[in-house]
Amino acid sequence: MNNYMDVLITTSSTLDGAKIKQYFGIVSAHVVAGTNVFSDFTAGLSDFFGGRSATYADQISRIKAQALTDLKYEAIELGANAVISVSIDVDEVSGGGKSMFMITAYGTAVTLDRVYIENSEDTKTDLVTGNVVADVIEKRILIEQHKSAPLEMTNDEWCRLLELEVPEMGDFIEWEMISSGLKEERLFAYAASIDFDDSVALGYQLFEKASKESELRTIQKVINKMVLVDYHRSISLLKSKSDSLTHKKTVLNTIIKPKRLYSSDDINTLNDLIGTVEASFPTIAVFRKKKGLLGKEKELWECMCSQKENDVDDSFCKSCGRDKQGFKAEETTPKKAIKYLSMIKETLKETLPNQ
């Protein structure tokens, strides 16, 4: 045997049905990835929207594959045809503010009964590939490194954790949301990695929790760009956040985009939603009468910004430009949203096959 492809690699120390004919001792391979290898990490942000973070994940897997290949060559040189009890260590070596990764693969080189090697494709029930093992190790290291300070994670590390399907990601999301402002790309990456229904639930759950305007803006972007709009949840939000105009305005901005999929149920839901929008934005201007010089009464309205002298016929406040419901001209007003929702409803009646 002289092809490294034929060298069997396993993390187990024994292989069912395989007779170890000879032990050659421990073999190891080291691959060090310098900072230059990782230098384009931060430049790879645009990869998020296309196909994940190619840079980081690719580099890590390439380095691991390199280490395992080197290990196989070590085995061949000894005349072995397998390496058992394989482990991979990933160490971060840092100094002078820079860090490098050192990946070490090691195991015991042996000669297995030829029959086993040839049949291993069919009998790999208790085998695990080096890549799987390496992923688990990498996952543990990343979690260990970041659980106390998840914000220090780079976006590539974040994506890598998503690829590794770390269940703890949910905790990181919570933490991000609540304590430090939203990280938009991370939210996109996470929402894209979970089921559609789960990402809808997540989007609206965060919507409920968010308090800052910047957070709400990010959530709105995620909901719109990923088409997570949900009418039932929008109705609930309008009701539960009845005292937060900022939340309610954000709901309006999300419902003026179509949903991902419509069914005939949506026609009734749209009626409910339109009714809820109508009821959710009362006039907040305070009207009062003022006696003019000639004893003539003049009707005025006081804006939410506390400008008191707006004439009753003025649509917008002369100080802040808001209308009697608290909307500026360029914003999505309840009226605009209702118009849009009604158009959707009419269009559904025309286009749904069973209407």
Min separation Cβ 331 and Zn ion, Å? 14
Q: Which is nearer to Zn ion, 7 or 285 (CB)?
A: 285
Min separation Cβ 302 and Zn ion, Å? 9
Tell me if 104 sits within 8 A of 28, measured CB to CB.
Answer: yes
Span interacting with Zn ion, options 9-17, 223-231, 302-310, 331-339, rule CB under 5 A: 302-310
Min separation Cβ 308 and Zn ion, Å? 10
Span interacting with Zn ion, options 2-10, 25-33, 191-199, 311-319, rule CB under 5 A: 311-319
Q: Is 224 in the site for Zn ion (CB under 5 A)?
A: no
List 95's β-bridge partners, or say none: 98
**Tokens (6 digits) for 109:** 């080189």
Mapping DSSP to helix (H, G, I), strand (E, B) and coil, where does residue 239 land? Answer: helix
Identity of the amino acid at 160: R
Alpha-carbon gap, residue 56 to 49, rounded angstroms: 15
Q: Look up tokens 């991370």; give the residue.
A: 186
Candidate residues 320, 329, 343, 352; the one interacting with Zn ion per rule CB under 5 A: 320
**Cβ–Cβ contacts within 10 Å for residue 203, how many?**
23
Q: Is 305 in the site for Zn ion (CB under 5 A)?
A: yes
Q: Look up tokens 């305005």; give the residue.
A: 249
Tell me if 175 sits within 8 A of 200, measured CB to CB.
Answer: no
Q: Which is nearer to Zn ion, 156 or 323 (CB)?
A: 323
Min separation Cβ 285 and Zn ion, Å? 9
Q: Is 319 in the site for Zn ion (CB under 5 A)?
A: yes
Dihedral angle, C-alpha 27, 9, 59, 30, nearest 10 °: 0
Q: Which is nearer to Zn ion, 209 or 288 (CB)?
A: 288
Span interacting with Zn ion, options 123-131, 136-144, 250-258, 313-321, rule CB under 5 A: 313-321
Q: Which is nearer to Zn ion, 56 or 281 (CB)?
A: 281
Q: Which is nearer to Zn ion, 132 or 320 (CB)?
A: 320
**Cβ–Cβ contacts within 10 Å for residue 22, how many?**
12
Backbone φ/ψ region at 306: left (φ over 0), alpha (ψ -120 to 50), beta: left
Candidate residues 68, 252, 303, 341; the one interacting with Zn ion per rule CB under 5 A: 303
**Tokens (6 digits) for 310:** 């707006």
Task: Classify residue 352 by its DSSP letter.
Answer: S
Candidate residues 60, 134, 274, 317; the one interacting with Zn ion per rule CB under 5 A: 317
Q: Which is nearer to Zn ion, 31 or 317 (CB)?
A: 317
Residues that bind Zn ion (CB under 5 A): 303, 305, 307, 317, 319-320, 322
